[in-house]
């Protein structure tokens, strides 16, 4: 027992550095991202006195004088422009008009020292709905706002979950587009990859080497190089269009780049190896005697294929499809370079929120959706390959 324990300790000591490394630099960043999706500390941080004063408010009676006094006090205290900016963004995203209102109020508040009548600064402070927004924002440092917004839902003023009015956000459109594009790429990969793997498994010698090499070479080549290559081929003055025009098939260049067709073509090329290889490995694992056996038992080649080879190969197709679909969901580079504005997938939107809009909450929430979808698919994939190991 103690020896086994010691061996386990040695193993643990060996895996510890990498485990620690991945906890700190892999798990923790993912956790940070998830936390940013649900955390909402800005209002509480920027408005400590109001947080206190508004916590007892029933949100339907008219705002009390303590509330406005606390709010004025808080506005006077904010010296950090970054924090103020975050606060404005946070409140304005919940109710349009807050940006002008709060900036105007701050200027007024800073100009005097004593108590101040907010409704005199701006009539809107008499409106309950602005106070409600502040009350909701300060009521908790955790929010489901971003997660709901990621799938185009929101909480209405009474707190119930409701759909965002049509046209206000495009997140659901993007999610659906991401799934349909990933599906299209997966389907294209099956259509090309399955027959390709069948052919590769049925030939031998240099023919098989050539077919497998054709799959492996792109896999080893830089993704960026492949994407650049497609960019060059697909552009209006590119090789494909000039060939088509030379052959007289078209007089105008066919639009292949910055649209869905180009993205699907390039992504299929990039992800095809992940379809071919699992199917091929299943096919070569099938004993060569099975088809002759089926024939000897009286099966027509087509019947034998349908009844024997296809069911056995199906597991490879499913593994390959999961791999391709999973990778396609999170694809960024190819759509970003070859797609147009209407072909951007969820990854591009996440990147936009994170680097362009500095809206970490939304980036985190959409990231969480993508992460969960990917991990679910991966679990299914692991289950399937574990099953395959059990029954050789």
Partner 1 sequence: MNFLRVSKIVFGSVAVFFLLAPLFAILPLAFTNSAFLNYPIPGYSTRWFEELLTAEVWRRSIINSLIIGCGTTLLATVLGTLGALGLRGTQLSPVFSFIKTVFLLPMVVPAVVLGVGMQLMFARYGLANSYLGVIIAHTVVGVPFVVVNVLTVLQGSDRRLEQAAASLGAAPYVVLGKITLPLALPGIVSGAVFAFATSLDEVVLTLFVAGPNQRTLARQMFSTIRENISPAIAAAAFLFIVGTTLIAIALNLSVRVSQRGSRQ
Partner 2 sequence: MDNSFIRFDDVSKSFGALKVVEELNLDIGKGEFVSLLGPSGSGKTTILMMLAGFENPTSGAIWSDRKRIDKLPPHKRNMGVVFQNYALFPHMTVSENIAFPLKMRGTSRADTSERVKRALDMVQLGALAERRPSQLSGGQQQRVALARALIFEPEVVLMDEPLGALDKQLREQMQLDIRDLHKRLGLTVVFVTHDQTEALTMSDRIAVFNHGKIEQIGSPSEIYDHPSTRFVAEFIGETNLVAGSVHSIDGHEAVIRLENNEVIKVVAKDRLRSGSKVVFSIRPERIGLGAGPGNTLETRISDVVYYGDHLRLLLSGGGQSFVVKTDRNRLPPSVGDSLTVSFLPSDCWAVDA
Residues that bind partner 2 in the complex, under the rule CB under 8 A: 1, 3-4
Indicate which of partner 2, partner 1, none lies near residue 15 (CB less than 5 to 8 Å, by partner kind).
Answer: partner 1
Q: Tokens at residue 123, please?
A: 């009539």
Give the nearer residue to partner 2 in terms of CB position, either 8 or 112.
8
CA-CA distance, 115 to 110, in Å (whole number)?
11
Least distance from C-beta 5 to partner 2, angstroms? 11
Q: Dihedral sign, CA of 94, 84, 137, 151?
A: positive
Token pair 């700190």: residue: 24
Least distance from C-beta 313 to partner 2, angstroms? 35
Give the nearer residue to partner 2 in terms of CB position, either 4 or 302.
4
Indicate which of partner 1, partner 2, none lies near residue 335 (CB less than 5 to 8 Å, by partner kind).
Answer: none
Indicate which of partner 2, partner 1, none lies near residue 297 (CB less than 5 to 8 Å, by partner kind).
Answer: none
CA-CA distance, 388 to 101, in Å (whole number)?
63
Give the nearer residue to partner 1 in terms of CB position, either 105 or 235.
235
Indicate which of partner 1, partner 2, none lies near residue 87 (CB less than 5 to 8 Å, by partner kind).
Answer: none
Give the nearer residue to partner 1 in terms of CB position, either 1 or 160.
1
Q: Do residues 339 and 259 make contact, with C-beta atoms less than 8 angstroms apart? A: yes
Indicate which of partner 1, partner 2, none lies near residue 326 (CB less than 5 to 8 Å, by partner kind).
Answer: partner 1
Indicate which of partner 1, partner 2, none lies near residue 69 (CB less than 5 to 8 Å, by partner kind).
Answer: none
Give the nearer residue to partner 2 in terms of CB position, either 4 or 111.
4
Token pair 């800005």: residue: 42
Q: Do residues 147 and 37 make contact, with C-beta atoms less than 8 angstroms apart? A: yes
Least distance from C-beta 14 to partner 2, angstroms? 18
- Identify the three-state secondary structure at position 331: coil
Q: Dihedral sign, CA of 98, 101, 105, 107?
A: positive
CA-CA distance, 107 to 118, in Å (whole number)?
12
CA-CA distance, 92 to 3, in Å (whole number)?
64
Torsion angle, CA of 218/223/228/233, rounded to 10 degrees?
A: 40
Q: Do residues 118 and 75 make contact, with C-beta atoms less than 8 angstroms apart? A: no
Q: Do residues 335 and 345 make contact, with C-beta atoms less than 8 angstroms apart? A: yes
Give the nearer residue to partner 2 in terms of CB position, either 9 or 376.
9
Give the nearer residue to partner 1 in terms of CB position, either 125 or 352.
352
Least distance from C-beta 21 to partner 1, angstroms? 6
Least distance from C-beta 4 to partner 2, angstroms? 8
Residues 6+ apart with CB under 8 A from 291: 301, 304, 305, 308, 309
Indicate which of partner 1, partner 2, none lies near residue 3 (CB less than 5 to 8 Å, by partner kind).
Answer: partner 2
Least distance from C-beta 74 to partner 1, angstroms? 25
Q: Tokens at residue 243, please?
A: 């060939």
Least distance from C-beta 118 to partner 1, angstroms? 35
């Amino acid at each position: 027992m103690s020896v086994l324990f010691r061996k386990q300790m040695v193993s643990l000591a060996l895996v510890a550095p990498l485990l620690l490394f991945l906890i700190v630099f892999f798990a923790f960043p993912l956790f940070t991202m998830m936390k940013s999706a649900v955390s909402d500390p800005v209002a509480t941080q920027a408005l400590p006195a109001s947080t206190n004063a508004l916590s007892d408010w029933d949100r339907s009676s008219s705002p009390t004088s303590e509330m406005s006094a606390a709010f004025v006090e808080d506005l006077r205290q904010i010296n950090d422009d970054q924090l103020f900016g975050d606060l404005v963004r946070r409140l304005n995203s919940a109710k349009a008009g807050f940006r002008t209102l709060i900036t105007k109020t701050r200027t007024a508040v800073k100009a005097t020292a004593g108590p101040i009548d907010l409704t005199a600064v701006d009539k809107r402070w008499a409106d309950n709905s602005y106070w409600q927004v502040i009350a909701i924002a300060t009521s908790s440092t955790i929010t489901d706002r971003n997660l709901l917004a990621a799938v185009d839902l929101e909480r209405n003023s009474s707190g119930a979950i409701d759909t965002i009015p049509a046209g206000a956000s495009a997140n659901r459109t993007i999610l659906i587009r991401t799934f349909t594009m990933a599906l299209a790429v997966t389907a294209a990969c099956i259509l090309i990859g399955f027959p390709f793997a069948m052919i590769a498994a049925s030939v031998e010698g240099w023919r098989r080497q050539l077919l497998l090499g054709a799959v492996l070479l792109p896999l080893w080549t830089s993704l960026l190089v492949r994407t650049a290559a497609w960019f060059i081929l697909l552009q209006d003055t590119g090789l494909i269009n000039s060939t088509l025009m030379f052959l007289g098939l078209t007089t105008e260049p066919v639009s292949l780049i910055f649209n869905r067709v180009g993205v699907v073509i390039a992504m299929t090329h990039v992800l095809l190896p992940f379809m071919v290889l699992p199917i091929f490995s299943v096919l070569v694992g099938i004993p060569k005697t099975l088809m002759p056996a089926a024939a000897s038992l009286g099966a027509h080649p087509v019947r034998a294929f349908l009844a024997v080879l296809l069911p056995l190969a199906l597991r490879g197709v499913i593994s390959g499809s999961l791999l391709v679909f999973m990778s396609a969901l999170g694809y960024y580079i190819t759509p970003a370079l070859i797609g147009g504005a209407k072909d951007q997938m969820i990854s591009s939107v996440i990147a936009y929120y994170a680097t362009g809009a500095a809206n970490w909450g939304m980036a985190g929430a959409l990231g969480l959706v993508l992460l969960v979808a990917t991990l679910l698919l991966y679990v299914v994939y692991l289950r399937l390959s574990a099953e395959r190991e059990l029954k050789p």
